[in-house]
A and B are shown apart, each in its own frame.
Chain A
Amino acid sequence: MKKCIVTVLGKDTVGIVAKVCTYLAENEINILDISQTIVQGYFNMMVITDVTGLKKDFTVLCDEMEKLGEEIGVSIRCQREEIFEKMHRL
């Protein structure tokens, strides 16, 4: 399984989760876990996804998600799980 961590940060607004999840579904990306909080009006979400079924290049996914973030008015980052796994697990 190839995992990818999607982080969304920015001012809270209607439909952030819906838009992000719709994009993931359209690209056959399965959601494994979601954590989400709002601190002083700021939306903070982390989605752990399985990108094994992804048809396009991973860097294209990163670019498209970043663009989607710009449209919604939040910052979206897409990173392969290994960077977190390596740093925080022995």
Chain B
Amino acid sequence: MINMYEVSETNKMIEHENLDVRTITLGISLLDCIDSDLNELNRRIYDKITKTAKNLVSVGQDIEREFGIPIVNKRISVTPVALVGGAACKTPEDFVSVAKTLDRAAETVGVNFIGGYSALVSKSMRESDENLIRSIPQALAVTERVCSSVNVGSTKTGINMDAVRLCGEIVKATAEATKEKDSFGCAKLVIFCNAPDDNPFMAGAFLGVTEGDAVINVGVSGPGVVKKALEKVRGKGFEELCETIKKTAFKVTRVGQLVAGEASRRLGIPFGIVDLSLAPTPAVGDSVAEILEEIGLERVGAPGTTAALALLNDQVKKGGVMASSYVGGLSGAFIPVSEDQGMIDAVQAGSLTLEKLEAMTCVCSVGLDMIAIPGKTSAGTISGIIADEMAIGMVNQKTTAVRLIPVIGKDVGEMVEFGGLLGYAPVMPVNEFGCEAFISRQGRIPAPIHSFKN
């Protein structure tokens, strides 16, 4: 039988160490909503989402109450809209009407974000993909809850540099379109390489076409719990350090698995995966940077940071995999700047640079995430940064992503407030040497030699 020590350990994690389930994300396929008439398409999308997700929020709240575990977000991901809207949407403006429908449906069912305003163009773009991508700045400016992503490369296909070039322009245009709100639109736009079909985390969540009609994916959290556990093994060897991370990750993931199973049963929707990512928030004591500092760095960004992150990421996976029946999504440590107080502090102290963050993305799941850069940065330079990050993903056979915010009207050292879980960030310097001649080349970078495995 459960003893008092175990009960108090769990409750201490919840009350003092920010243990929570970060998100229950309901994936909804919109493939059966496809129609050549735009009004009919919008009607079907609204009906399908509001019907399928009707009880999502209330079920989430019941689970929170009964188990005493906070579930921070209840969200929805849908089939990439470029595929669903292709038959009906002939212009970028047509796609914006679908974005508005998604926003309205999300508001009706009470979720704060809906992901899947996306295009998958890792090899090349169809006309509808390009129309959707060109509609992103307006779509993100006129909606509140819609999140967008573009997959521009993969290990199997190489990198679609035409899409990379276009995405640099789109990131810049999104920043311009939302400049009254510190270019907030860019916080809802992710450029991917090797994007997973079952990612529950925003802003990059969408439901891939290999998925079923509806699925429950859960993202766990718990940087604070790992940090507290590591305080007890200060000065100890790597073996004890790694064992501690693994055991903690196991416990955190078990909670995610429990919540996923309950949500799936109560909603009558199959369980998909648990995403093992350590997801920080701007709250004190909920930071991945603080874990790295606990491992032994004076500040994140110091020499040793990449190695410490590689170790952390690997042990989290090793501990988490056994705790869940199906693991998927991004599953790694997130290193966003604005959403992690320790990262923000490291940038302000001059320890963490864009280049070091790029090195860190070689060993963890996501990429350059929630980084504010000067508004004057050119679209070509943004495309160059995207291309570098995509190359890391392509060659290392892993997901990488870019979520940069070129803050219009702000320059290095100024602060940007996004609010809530998205936090705040100091504007970071970008290498000002150009790459226009490279970015303006047409076509794609071929797939790497090690992708030919057959």
Q: Please state if A79 and B66 are interface contacts (CB–CB under 8 Å).
A: yes
- CA–CA, A82 to B209, complex, Å? 34
Kindly state whether residue A77 has any CB partner on chain B within 8 Å.
yes
The distance from the CB of B254 to the nearest CB of chain A, in whole angstroms, is: 5
Interface-located stretch among B6-14, B105-113, B376-384: B6-14
Which residues from 1 to 44 on chain B have a C-beta closer than 8 Å to any C-beta of chain A?
Answer: 1-4, 6-11
Most buried by A among B4, B62, B67: B4
CB-nearest residue of chain B to A59: B65
What count of chain B residues pass the 8 Å CB interface test? 21
Kindly state whether residue B419 has any CB partner on chain A within 8 Å.
no
Q: Please state if B254 and A87 are interface contacts (CB–CB under 8 Å).
A: yes
Q: Please state if A62 and B66 are interface contacts (CB–CB under 8 Å).
A: yes
The distance from the CB of A35 to the nearest CB of chain B, in whole angstroms, is: 4
Q: Give the residues in chain B near A33, CB-CB below 8 Å.
A: 1
- CA–CA, A48 to B66, complex, Å? 15
Q: Give the residues in chain A near B251, CB-CB below 8 Å.
A: 87-88
Q: Please state if A48 and B1 are interface contacts (CB–CB under 8 Å).
A: yes
- With beta carbons under 8 angstroms apart, the residue of A5, A58, A62 that contacts B2 is A5
- CA–CA, A85 to B9, complex, Å? 12
- CA–CA, A78 to B62, complex, Å? 13
- CA–CA, A90 to B251, complex, Å? 10
The distance from the CB of B320 to the nearest CB of chain A, in whole angstroms, is: 13
Most buried by B among A77, A80, A85, A87: A87
Q: Please state if A83 and B10 are interface contacts (CB–CB under 8 Å).
A: yes
- CA–CA, A35 to B254, complex, Å? 25
Kindly state whether residue A12 has any CB partner on chain B within 8 Å.
no
Given the interface contacts A7-B11, A46-B7, does A87 sit within 8 Å of B66 by beta carbon? no
- CA–CA, A4 to B8, complex, Å? 14
Q: Please state if A46 and B4 are interface contacts (CB–CB under 8 Å).
A: yes
Q: Please state if A86 and B257 are interface contacts (CB–CB under 8 Å).
A: yes
Q: Please state if B6 and A84 are interface contacts (CB–CB under 8 Å).
A: yes
Q: Give the residues in chain B near A32, CB-CB below 8 Å.
A: 1
Q: Give the residues in chain A near B68, CB-CB below 8 Å.
A: 62, 77-79, 83
- CA–CA, A87 to B255, complex, Å? 6
- CA–CA, A88 to B255, complex, Å? 10
CB-nearest residue of chain A to B322: A90
Q: Please state if A88 and B66 are interface contacts (CB–CB under 8 Å).
A: no
Q: Please state if B11 and A87 are interface contacts (CB–CB under 8 Å).
A: no
Given the interface contacts A59-B62, A59-B66, A87-B251, does A77 sit within 8 Å of B257 by beta carbon? no
Which residues from 199 to 254 on chain B have a C-beta closer than 8 Å to any C-beta of chain A?
Answer: 251, 254
Kindly state whether residue B69 has any CB partner on chain A within 8 Å.
yes
Q: Please state if B4 and A35 are interface contacts (CB–CB under 8 Å).
A: yes
Q: Please state if B6 and A88 are interface contacts (CB–CB under 8 Å).
A: yes
Given the interface contacts A7-B11, A59-B62, A62-B65, does A83 sit within 8 Å of B258 by beta carbon? yes
Q: Give the residues in chain A near B2, CB-CB below 8 Å.
A: 5, 48, 81, 84-85, 88
Q: Please state if B69 and A83 are interface contacts (CB–CB under 8 Å).
A: yes
Q: Give the residues in chain B near A48, CB-CB below 8 Å.
A: 1-2
20 interchain pairs (CB within 8 A)? A32-B1, A33-B1, A44-B4, A44-B8, A46-B7, A48-B2, A62-B68, A77-B11, A79-B68, A80-B66, A80-B67, A81-B2, A82-B258, A83-B67, A83-B68, A83-B69, A84-B2, A86-B254, A86-B257, A87-B10
A-contacting residues of B (Cβ < 8 Å)? 1-4, 6-11, 62, 65-69, 251, 254-255, 257-258
